């Protein structure tokens, strides 16, 4: 057992498990960086590492796994490539666990959707600012080009919300598979 400065002991298995999950998260981020396709799927698998940390080791360890993998991924492959993980895929399993533990089902669904909306708007604005994208370039999407500007941005938000809902559903399924088949075996 390792001792902290205040005399409390830490489980060596928790430290090792957190380190292994951090490495696994980084592997998925790096494969996503190197892969020409499947970025969202690989980032989702990276977020599963954070979710496993919550389930297996607790919220504090999961936060450390997220911070460690976020800092390392910001250095390599770089902050610009790591932004989806840092803004969306990394913190979401932590937010999801907090909301689902605190609220019952209907309230949890509403709370998750509201927070997802805020995250998506912040991520979208940061994307436009950081990458110096002119919003008029985005409005040239053929399918939505004839919509007025407010309706266009609303349509983009609705599409992003549907995508985020599917991601949350897939993450729930992956956590369920982990809980039923792998938890306690590894």
Contact 45, 85 (CB under 8 A): no
Rounded distance between C-alpha atoms, residue 13 and residue 2, angstroms: 10
pTM: 0.83
Structure tokens at 173: 């399924």
Under CATH, which number does the domain 2-182 receive?
1.10.1760
Nearest alpha carbon to residue 95 among 83, 81, 112: 112
pLDDT in tens, the chain (186 residues): 444 555 455 678 888 999 999 999 999 999 999 988 888 899 999 999 999 999 999 999 999 999 999 999 999 888 888 889 999 999 999 999 999 999 988 999 999 999 999 999 998 888 878 877 666 666 556 666 677 777 777 888 898 999 999 999 999 999 999 999 877 666
């Amino acid at each position: 057992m390792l001792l902290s400065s205040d005399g409390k002991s830490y489980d060596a298995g928790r430290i090792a498990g957190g380190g292994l999950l951090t490495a696994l998260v980084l592997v998925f981020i790096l494969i996503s960086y190197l892969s020409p396709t499947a970025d969202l799927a690989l980032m989702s698998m990276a977020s599963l590492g954070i979710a496993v940390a919550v389930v297996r080791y607790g919220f504090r360890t999961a936060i450390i796994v997220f911070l460690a993998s976020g800092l390392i991924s910001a250095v390599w492959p770089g902050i610009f490539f790591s932004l989806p993980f840092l803004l969306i895929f990394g913190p979401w399993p932590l937010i999801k666990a907090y909301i689902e533990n605190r609220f019952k089902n209907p309230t949890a669904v509403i709370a998750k959707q509201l927070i997802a909306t805020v995250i998506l708007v912040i991520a979208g604005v940061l994307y436009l600012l950081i990458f110096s994208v002119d919003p008029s370039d985005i409005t040239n999407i053929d399918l939505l080009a004839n919509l007025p500007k407010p309706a266009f941005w609303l349509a983009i938000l609705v599409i992003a919300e549907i995508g985020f809902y599917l991601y949350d559903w897939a993450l729930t399924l992956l956590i369920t598979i982990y809980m039923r088949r792998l938890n306690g075996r590894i």
